[in-house]
Amino acid sequence: MAAFLIRRAAFAVVTLFAVLTLVFVVVRILPGDPAQLILGDQASREAIEALRARLGLDQPIALQYLSFLANALRGDWGVSMVTGQPVLAEVLNVLPWTIDLTLVSLAFGVALGVPLGVWAAVRRNRFVDYLVRVASLVGLSFPAFVSAIILLFLFAIELHWFPVISARKGSLQAWAQSITLPAISLGLTTAAYITRVTRSAMLEVLSEDFVRTARAKGSPERIVVWRHALRNALIPIITVAGLYMSTLIGNSVLTEIVFSRPGLGKLLVGALNQRDYTMLQGMMVIYTLAVVVVNLISDLAYGVVDPRVKLG
């Protein structure tokens, strides 16, 4: 387990380093001088030169790279080219919104997907199974913003059950009201995905000898399915849930736009529209960090679920 984790952690560090390098290169090969972009076409030569010096753009490229890496590691991600606020502060400001959304969506996806998948597997090739399979394929086909728009239209605009703009915080009730629709719409594909994986993992486990043994010794079917079989099916479920987190983080951008919800997604789209390069750099790093951390957590989860992993 230790060797495994060290290897995964090393991969995480290499990935982070590679992304930082990529960000540095991409931002510098872009057409146009950032200083010119910030100040606009009317700016004087002197003003542009002064800004270039302030941003460190007049230094040799190798030096720029080293100071970029050093600053990134120290948590100094520069200031936004648009608002003038430190990038890290702006990112940390909205980060809780996105973490809230992705975690609640994941919870929704697991809470719906695991039971549905188990149910379908137990009733293999019966009506329920077909229904669950078709429903999960429909769920998988939803672009994240389409499910968001349809839910917003039905439950916020037509039925007025939820606010149209999901940006309220404060009381628990306000929080729940503003997160329900976004989390369901984002969690829909997750649920569909987890349903399918759970179903196939359960089908495999249910045909194994130990399940027959458990049944033979007279364990109630409920215990056989939910305790013996499901526990052994959890590993593939955790693997894909961990892998899917990256998609979930990506799709949250769309959900946040539709529900006018603050978060990394809205910050990202704003930065893209305004060509706020320092902000984009910071966001690339934070997204990579998020994915790397999620992957490490799912690696750790194996150990918790399956004691055998510790030996390996």
Using CA atoms, how far apart are residues 42 and 154, in angstroms rounded to an integer? 48
Token pair for 158: 């037509």
Residue with Cβ nearer another protein (146 or 309):
146
Asked whether the beta carbons of 8 and 299 are under 8 A apart, the reply is yes
Residue with Cβ nearer another protein (110 or 197):
197
Q: State the greatest distance between any 2 C-alpha atoms of the chain, in Å, as a whole number.
A: 86
| DSSP annotation string for 81-119 | TTT-SBHHHHHHHHHHHHHHHHHHHHHHHHHHHHHHHHH
4 forms part of the interface with another protein (CB under 8 A): no
284 forms part of the interface with another protein (CB under 8 A): yes
254 forms part of the interface with another protein (CB under 8 A): yes
What string marks each residue from 19 to 38 as x (binds another protein by CB under 8 A) or -?
Answer: x------x---x--------
Site for another protein in 81-140 (CB under 8 A): 124-125, 134, 137-138, 140
Return the SS3 of 41.
Answer: coil
Residue with Cβ nearer another protein (26 or 53):
26
191 forms part of the interface with another protein (CB under 8 A): no
287 forms part of the interface with another protein (CB under 8 A): yes
Kindly determine how many residues on this chain lie close enough to bind another protein according to the rule CB under 8 A: 50
Residue with Cβ nearer another protein (160 or 222):
160
Least distance (Å) from another protein to the CB of residue 272?
4
Return the SS3 of 247.
Answer: helix
Stretch that binds another protein, among 14-22, 61-69, 74-82, 207-215 (CB under 8 A): 14-22
150 forms part of the interface with another protein (CB under 8 A): yes
Return the SS3 of 76.
Answer: coil
Stretch that binds another protein, among 72-80, 92-100, 148-156, 221-229 (CB under 8 A): 148-156
Q: Which residues of 270-290 are buried (b: 16+ CB within 10 A; e: fewer)?
A: ebeebebbbbbbbbbbbbbeb
155 forms part of the interface with another protein (CB under 8 A): no
Using CA atoms, how far apart are residues 53 and 280, in angstroms rounded to an integer? 20
Beta bridge partners of 79: 86
63 forms part of the interface with another protein (CB under 8 A): no
Q: Which residues of 236-245 are buried (b: 16+ CB within 10 A; e: fewer)?
A: bbbbbbbebb
188 forms part of the interface with another protein (CB under 8 A): no
Helices (H), the chain: 2-29, 34-39, 45-55, 61-74, 87-122, 127-141, 144-151, 172-206, 209-216, 221-223, 230-258, 264-273, 277-305, 308-311
Quick one: which of 291, 298, 299, 302 contacts another protein (CB under 8 A)? 291
Contact positions vs another protein (CB under 8 A):
11, 14-15, 18-19, 26, 30, 124-125, 134, 137-138, 140-146, 149-150, 152-153, 157, 196-197, 199-200, 203-204, 246-247, 249-251, 253-254, 257-258, 268-269, 272-273, 280, 284, 287-288, 291-292, 295
